[in-house]
Structure 1
Amino acid sequence: MSAKVVIVDDHSMVREGLKQLLELEGDVQVIGEASDGLECLKLLETTVPQVLLLDINMPNMNGLEVLERLKEENVDFKIIILTVHDEIEFLLKAVDIGINGYLLKESDSSELKKAIFHVINGETYIQPSMIPLLNSKMVQRDHEKVKIDLLTKRELEVLKLLSVGLYNKEIGKKLEISERTVKNHISSIFKKIEVTDRTQAAVFAIKNNLINVF
């Protein structure tokens, strides 16, 4: 019995090449193809694969947006991101959303098949070359979370406001506290998140998605 796969990529030659490689030995069957995110979602209304191979860079909804939508819908099939992106941020985002596999397009067909059957069997398959960096980034993020947890609710408010460029006086006015109190909060924030100036504090806030609420 062959694994049923859907390929989503905006390049028709990539889709055709993958289809030929995967179906060569008869253990994988490509049951559908889509060229962008919206077409993918439409296709999945009538076609249910065991594994969805999903590119990131696509028009009309990118791969990560498709992944997010499908995870919200609690789909039964597995999803492997197949991409040229070896930047750790893309992998981290995919892991956060809940990916089953993440593989680079430079991988050979045997590794892709290995990934497909791994995820069908309930395992996660991450590009081996990216695992050490992923692990170190996860440890780093845990450390950053500890720092964030040290901040009081008021300190978080101050950090978010200074990170979007507000001066102490403006922060005080917005939060209805004195400028002196703002200075005290900032001093405490710097100590807790281990930074020495406002720019470093802003970078910390951006990296940890603290200011997208504003």
Structure 2
Amino acid sequence: MTLIAADDHGVVCRGLNALLSSEQDIKMLATALGGRQAVTLCEELSPDVVLMDIVMPDMDGIEATKRIKRSSPHTHIVILTSVETEQTVVEATQAGALSYLLKDTDPDELVAAIRSAARGESTLSPRVATLLMTSMSRRQSERAFHEELSDREMQVLLLLAQGLSNVLIAEKLGIGEKTVKSHVSNILSKLYLTDRTQATAYAWRHRLLTQ
């Protein structure tokens, strides 16, 4: 798998290079010292995974994540930061980040999270998971999560809920299968679900197919 790291502290980038240099299945393509450079590198190199800091001078990690997911939807973003506020965690998730780890994460756990991200699997630091649960409880009383979905994501959700495979959804919408997979990943993230079965149940429970 291929990787880009974005952090405005050079010592962090060097540390990540040293950590990952012995992992034969992970290739560090480049390091970025800011969000804008990370976006440019992703457009040029199309990495499988990006390790993204939040606080950077020219463009923060949340805005960079949004832009990368628009231009390189198949690239998975792993936030690696010292910021652990509820608002930041929620904004990063909504921007398209797959995983959110704190910088005190054990090195072996970080490597495992990178491999999981390459497979499209999310990893959250325990304190981050607690923040998300708190946010979910608060937001559940305010509005339905599906209001966060884009029009295309809603189309994919409705077809998924009707039992269509990614291949059939791609054919019906005239888009690529990889794009469908990316939409499904975003849908699960925004709805705080873990698999297609839960997404189908969500759609029927909220009567989305009858609207």
TM-score interval, normalised by the smaller of the two chains: 0.5 to 0.7
CA distance in 2, matches of 1:41, 1:71: 9
Q: Deviations over 1:127-157 (max 9, x none)?
A: 12321331121121111227xxxxxxxxxxx
TM-score normalized by structure 2? 0.64
Runs of 4+ deviating beyond 3 Å:
none
What SS does structure 2 have at the residue aligned with 1:20?
helix
Q: How does 1:84-99 map to 2 (within 5 A)?
A: 84-99=82-97
In structure 2, what is the equivalent of residue 101 of structure 1?
99
> Identity across aligned pairs (percent)?
34
Shift of residue 74, structure 1, vs aligned partner: 4.8
The amino acid across from 1:141 in the alignment is R
In structure 1, what is the equivalent of residue 10 of structure 2?
12
What SS does structure 2 have at the residue aligned with 1:131?
helix
8 Å Cα contact 1:10-1:36 kept in structure 2:
yes
In structure 1, what is the equivalent of residue 138 of structure 2?
140
8 Å Cα contact 1:22-1:109 kept in structure 2:
no
CA distance in 1, matches of 2:36, 2:134: 34
Q: Which runs of 5+ in 2 are unaligned?
A: 145-211
The amino acid across from 1:32 in the alignment is A
Number of aligned positions between the proteins: 145
What SS does structure 2 have at the residue aligned with 1:49?
coil
Shift of residue 100, structure 1, vs aligned partner: 0.8
The amino acid across from 2:24 in the alignment is G
The amino acid across from 1:52 in the alignment is V
CA distance in 1, matches of 2:97, 2:83: 15
8 Å Cα contact 1:83-1:103 kept in structure 2:
yes
Q: Deviations over 1:51-79 (max 9, x none)?
A: 00111111111110101112233521111
TM-score normalized by structure 1? 0.63
- CA shift in 2, pair 1:74/1:25, >3 Å: closer
Q: State the Cα RMSD in Å.
A: 1.8
